[in-house]
Amino acid sequence: YLKHLAGVRGIVPDRESLQRLGVECIEAGWDQFCTAVLEFAGWHPGDSVIVEGIRHAEAVGALNAVVAPGRVFLVYLAADDAVIQARIRVRDGAGVELQKIESHPSDGGVGERLNAVTDIVLDANRPLSALAGDVWRWHGVRTRFGCELPRILKAGAGPRRSSSTTAVA
């Protein structure tokens, strides 16, 4: 959503610009920002939402308020620093370092802030393409059998996407 918004505003969508834009959106209000992100993702009222990429616990509360009576399912991708740095280099170029990113208020300490509200933790040292199947498998089993599942999930195949859930990353 922030990359889209940057394009609309004529802002170069590099990491620092997106961080500034994110802070600006948050300052306008969590409900407004979360509603805009959900609408951009194609969410419909009443749907539940599976989310990865949250950096603030306040966003989870705002998302839950917006999607009610639906539910927000928060996915946390845990990876080693070396894997994260390699992905940053692919996405943002060789000049961007993990340490610099984590020094920004919107990115630093994400894991500590979100641990209490995370529904599932995935081993993101694995290929990102494999993780989506894990999420859908976890959500499908949880929904079908109405039970709580372990927060840390092992690899596996996922079911087809349900029409009553929107995925936002």
pLDDT in tens, 57-68: 888 889 989 999
115-119, 149-153, 160-164, range with greatest mean pLDDT = 115-119
% of the chain residues with pLDDT over 70: 68
Measured between alpha carbons, how far is 59 from 141 in angstroms, rounded to an integer? Answer: 26
Give 159's DSSP letter. P
Cis bond before residue 150 (omega within 30° of 0): no
- Given pLDDT bands bounded at 50, 70 and 90, which one contains residue 106? low
Residue burial 114-145, b: 16+ Cβ < 10 Å; e: rest: beeebbbbbbbeeeeeebbebbbbbbbbeeee
Provide CB contacts within 8 A for 60, sequence distance 6+.
Answer: 51, 54, 72, 74, 114, 117
Give 162's DSSP letter. P
Q: What is the arithmetic mean of pLDDT over 139-148?
A: 63
CA dihedral sign of residues 54, 61, 21, 32: positive
Nearest CA to 37 among 16, 11, 55, 17?
Answer: 55
